[in-house]
């Protein structure tokens, strides 16, 4: 059904002299909030332990388009979601590097107690548990810090989630992804804008990632001219106005609830981004 809808919209755009929305080139579901994907950075973690199942569940409840997860590998080869390479910031009185701890050792850590009493007992989640929670409910912006591409691909394919996961990783890891899963969605980040055209030529990506310090209207225009979409990691809510004005396709934020509300207000004021002209 999604492919039929995409074809109809693409045909309508072409007959109207407009370019089909870029998310169809990537095979993604359309954004829920006025043409802009809302990416919940480390889940919706305001008052909730970040990178945990409750934070990801809250993002689903809010209606975000994607959750960002950070993937690392334990000593015994399990894939978990945790941002930092070590655990000191997550569990008081504990230390150690994720790569040097077994999953059972990590699982023993209570990462919710430092946030609020209601989250006591919250644990570092396995990637497969996150996939099961999010499947067909919300997309995943997968930030591969340290992990085996082939193992992750198997998990994604097993669940039929190739078009529900955006892969943010080193260029070498994305090359591995291209070989092992051509239908998966690589999302390279060029860093400074001077690298953008070279990256587009090398990868021909459907989705490009960026961070605010490297971002500009010309960055967005270059991505759109290549037929791709761009998702930017903002610095703070003060970035949103320029991001929308420049016709950004997605915003990664620590404040997904506020961003969703802000986009709704903009829709009411008629400030949605229209389909792009060729």
Q: Let me know if residue 164 belongs to a domain.
A: no
Task: pLDDT band for 15, please (50, 70, 90 cuts).
Answer: very low
DSSP letter string, 169-205? --HHHHHHHHHH-TTSEE----SSGGGHHHHHHHH--
**Cα distance between residue 242 and residue 253, in whole Å:** 14
The model's pLDDT over 47-90, given as tens digits with 9 standing for 90+, comes to 999 999 999 999 999 999 999 999 999 999 999 999 999 999 89
pLDDT at 179 over 50: yes
Q: Let me know if residue 102 belongs to a domain.
A: no
Task: pLDDT band for 23, please (50, 70, 90 cuts).
Answer: low
Q: How many of the other CB atoms lie within 10 Å of CB of 182?
A: 9
- Where residue 203 sits, what CATH number does that domain have? 3.40.50
Q: Let me know if residue 124 belongs to a domain.
A: no
Average pLDDT over all residues of the chain: 89
The more confidently predicted of residues 24 and 120 is: 120
Percentage of the chain modeled with pLDDT above 70:
87
- Global pTM reads 0.88
- Over range 110-128, report the average pLDDT: 96
Buried b (16+ CB within 10 A) or exposed e, 107-126: eebbbbbebeeebeebbbbb
The model's pLDDT over 216-257, given as tens digits with 9 standing for 90+, comes to 999 999 999 999 999 999 999 999 999 999 999 999 999 999
How many domains does the structure of the chain reveal?
1
Residues 6+ apart with CB under 8 A from 253: 38, 39, 40, 41, 234, 237, 259
pLDDT at 10 over 70: no
Which residues are identified as catalytic? 41, 83
Q: Let me know if residue 150 belongs to a domain.
A: no
Q: Are 161 and 185 in contact (CB under 8 A)?
A: no
By CB atoms closer than 10 A (0-12, 13-18, 19+), residue 192 is exposed
The model's pLDDT over 84-109, given as tens digits with 9 standing for 90+, comes to 999 998 987 788 999 999 999 999 99
Q: Let me know if residue 263 belongs to a domain.
A: yes
Instruction: From 145, 144, 143, 45, select the one nearest 90 (Cα to Cα).
Output: 45
**Cα distance between residue 123 and residue 224, in whole Å:** 40
Q: Are 208 and 26 in contact (CB under 8 A)?
A: no
**Cα distance between residue 203 and residue 218, in whole Å:** 19
- Over range 132-160, report the average pLDDT: 97
pLDDT at 8 over 60: no
Q: Let me know if residue 70 belongs to a domain.
A: no
Give the 3-state secondary structure of residue 36. Answer: coil
- Over range 194-203, report the average pLDDT: 97
pLDDT attached to residue 271: 60
Q: Let me know if residue 256 belongs to a domain.
A: yes
For residue 30, the enclosing domain spans: 1-15+23-40+188-273
pLDDT at 132 over 80: yes
**Cα distance between residue 182 and residue 163, in whole Å:** 11
CA atoms within 13 A on the CB side of 247: 18
Task: pLDDT band for 175, please (50, 70, 90 cuts).
Answer: very high
Q: Let me know if residue 4 belongs to a domain.
A: yes
pLDDT at 203 over 80: yes
**Cα distance between residue 170 and residue 143, in whole Å:** 9
């Amino acid at each position: 059904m999604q492919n039929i809808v995409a074809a109809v919209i693409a045909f309508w755009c072409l007959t109207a002299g407009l370019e089909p929305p870029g998310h169809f080139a990537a095979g993604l579901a359309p954004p829920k909030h006025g043409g802009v994907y809302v990416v919940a950075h480390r889940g919706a973690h305001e008052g909730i332990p970040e990178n945990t199942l409750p934070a990801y569940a809250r993002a689903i409840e809010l209606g975000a388009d994607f959750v960002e997860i950070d993937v690392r590998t334990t000593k015994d080869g399990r894939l978990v979601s945790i941002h930092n390479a070590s655990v000191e910031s997550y569990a008081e009185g504990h230390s150690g590097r994720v790569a040097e701890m077994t999953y059972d050792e990590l699982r023993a850590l209570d990462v919710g107690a430092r946030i609020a009493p209601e989250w006591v007992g919250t644990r570092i989640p396995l990637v497969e548990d996150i996939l099961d929670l999010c499947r067909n409910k919300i997309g995943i912006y997968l930030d591969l810090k340290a992990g085996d591409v082939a193992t992750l691909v198997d998990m994604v394919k097993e669940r039929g989630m190739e078009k529900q996961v955006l892969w943010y990783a080193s260029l070498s890891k994305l090359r591995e992804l291209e070989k092992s899963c051509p239908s998966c969605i690589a999302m390279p980040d060029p860093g400074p804008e001077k690298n953008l055209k070279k990256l587009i030529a090398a990868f021909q990506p459907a989705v490009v990632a960026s961070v605010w310090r490297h971002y500009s209207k010309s960055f967005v225009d270059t991505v759109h001219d290549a037929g791709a979409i761009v998702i930017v990691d903002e610095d703070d809510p003060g970035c949103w106005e320029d991001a929308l004005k420049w016709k950004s396709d997605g915003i990664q934020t620590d404040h997904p609830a506020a961003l969703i509300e802000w986009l709704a207000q903009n829709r009411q004021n008629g400030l949605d981004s229209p389909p792009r002209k060729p």
